Structure 1
Amino acid sequence: MKLLKLEFFKCRRRKILLVCAAVLAAELLWFGMYLTRQDAEDLIQGWMLLFYNLALIDAIILPISVATISSRNCELEHKGASLKLLETMVTPGRLYGAKLAWGALVLAALLIVRTGAFAVMGVAADFHGAIPWGRFAIFTAISWAVSMMVYALQQGLSLRFQNQAVALVAGIFGSFVGTMSMLFPPALVRCVPWGYYGLLSLVRMEWDPATRFTQFFWQWPQPMDLALLCLWAAVFLLVGRALFVRKEV
């Protein structure tokens, strides 16, 4: 607990809150602009439209956002003899765990606030039906789980390399690949860590070329995909932790 408090103390001037606010503003603006191009008939499926687009927005924005948050937290350890001093008081494994817990709390707070903001947007846009809080909770949990898998990868890179450009380039690459993966077959998407934002989406879309009508429908994630997500997360966590523990300081 003391190490976790220390992580929040160290990041008090790292503008993490500003980064999270920028992420939230970008997602709200993106979907808000999308809504302005929809007619009344499209908004009948408003809540499903929202969840479908949120998965796409997550695949574009969250990989680079997670990379930025992780980098802002980890770059302090590379300045001066900070890491050497810290390791005189605590083992590298515990330090790695504290940073991971810090990231989990920050991402959870960001996604919970986002859920409330998009629920309000849906009500303001007069979506049909009540707010699907249960589906919002599941979607938020999935987004958090995928983001933590990506965060484990990004934290490993941020702690391993002093030049934070390596981690940020990986985040930019993840945003590109995650977006493109939504056009791939599911079997191929399972091999792309950033593609799980779209793979585990609660809403699927079917477009009829004859009638030119788009139909959305609910779909629960496959158990195998959830298991693969846990496998990716475990690999990134164990490899990243092992590299950090063996890192010479």
Structure 2
Amino acid sequence: MKLLQMEFYKCRRRKILLVCAAVLAVQMLWMGVFFARQDAEDLRWGWMLLLYNLCTIDAIILPLSVATLASRNCELEHRGSTWKLLETMVSPGSLYGAKLGWGALVLAVLLILRSGLFLGVGIAQGFQGAIPWGRFGLFTLLSWAVSMMVYALQQGLSLRFANQAAALVCGISGSFLGILSMMFPPALVRCVPWGYYGLMSLVYMDWNKVTRVTRFYWRELPVTDVVLLLLWAAVFLIVGRTLFVRKEV
């Protein structure tokens, strides 16, 4: 617990709140423009349309955002060359766990706030039907789980390389692959970690080429996709932790 408190103390001037506020502002602006362009026929899908587009936004914005948060949390020790000093007081494994816990809490707060804001948007828009509280809760949990899988990858890179350009380039590439993968077959998407933002969507879209009518529908998550997500996370966690623990300081 003390190590986790120390992580928050060290990051108090790292502009983490500004990064999170920027993520929320971009997503709100994006969705505001999107809804302003929809007609009454489109808006009748309401909550499904909202959750479907939030998955798309997540695939574009969150990979780079997660990379930025991981980099901001890890670069301070690189700059100050304090790894040797820290590891005389705590084990590398404990330090890695504290940083991972910091990321988990920051992302949880960010995504809960995001869901609350868009629930407010849906209510303000007067979406038809009952508010899907359960779907929104599950959507928030899935967004957090995918983001933590990506965070484990990004933290491993940020801890491994003093030059944070490597981690940020990976984040930028992830944003590109995240949205591009939404056009891949599901079997191929499962091989792209950032593609899980779209793969774990609770809403699917069906567009009829003949009638040009778009229909949205709820879907159940395949257990295999959840298991694969956990496997990806476990791989990134184990590899990142092992490389950090064995790193010479």
Q: For this structure pair, what is the TM-score category when the shorter chain's length is used for normalisation?
A: over 0.9
CA displacement at 1:80 relative to structure 2: 2.8
Structural mapping, 1:60-139, within 5 Å? 60-139=60-139
**Aligned AA (1:104):** A
Matched residues in 1 for 2:202 and 2:26: separation? 22
What SS does structure 2 have at the residue aligned with 1:217? strand
CA displacement at 1:82 relative to structure 2: 1.1
CA displacement at 1:104 relative to structure 2: 0.2
CA displacement at 1:245 relative to structure 2: 0.4
Matched residues in 1 for 2:76 and 2:15: separation? 13
1:163 equivalenced with 2:163 (yes/no): yes
What SS does structure 2 have at the residue aligned with 1:90? coil
CA displacement at 1:240 relative to structure 2: 0.2
CA displacement at 1:81 relative to structure 2: 2.7
- Report which stretch shifted further, 165-174 or 74-83: 74-83
The aligned residue for residue 45 of structure 2 is 45
**Aligned AA (2:158):** S
Matched residues in 2 for 1:91 and 1:162: separation? 20
**Aligned AA (1:234):** A
The aligned residue for residue 235 of structure 2 is 235
The aligned residue for residue 190 of structure 1 is 190
Q: Deviations over 1:2-25 (max 9, x none)?
A: 000000000000000110000011
**Aligned AA (2:219):** Q
What SS does structure 2 have at the residue aligned with 1:248? coil
Structure 2's unaligned 5+ residue stretches are: none
CA displacement at 1:224 relative to structure 2: 0.1
Matched residues in 2 for 1:75 and 1:20: separation? 18
**Aligned AA (1:19):** V
Runs of 4+ in structure 1 off by over 4 angstroms are none
The aligned residue for residue 247 of structure 1 is 247
What SS does structure 1 have at the residue aligned with 2:206? strand
Matched residues in 2 for 1:5 and 1:80: separation? 19
The aligned residue for residue 4 of structure 2 is 4
What SS does structure 1 have at the residue aligned with 2:51? helix
**Aligned AA (2:20):** C
What SS does structure 2 have at the residue aligned with 1:206? strand
**Aligned AA (2:66):** V
What SS does structure 1 have at the residue aligned with 2:204? strand
Q: For this pair of structures, how many residues does the alignment match?
A: 249
**Aligned AA (1:134):** G
**Aligned AA (1:94):** S
State percent identity of aligned pairs: 72
If the length of structure 1 is used for normalisation, what is the TM-score? 0.99
CA displacement at 1:77 relative to structure 2: 1.1
Q: Deviations over 1:115-157 (max 9, x none)?
A: 1100001111111123211100000000000000000000000
What SS does structure 2 have at the residue aligned with 1:79? helix
Matched residues in 2 for 1:90 and 1:78: separation? 17
Matched residues in 1 for 2:203 and 2:77: separation? 41
CA displacement at 1:221 relative to structure 2: 1.3
Matched residues in 1 for 2:232 and 2:126: separation? 39
**Aligned AA (1:53):** N
Matched residues in 1 for 2:71 and 2:81: separation? 18
**Aligned AA (1:171):** G
Q: Deviations over 1:88-113 (max 9, x none)?
A: 10000000000000000000000000
Structure 1's unaligned 5+ residue stretches are: none
CA displacement at 1:60 relative to structure 2: 0.2
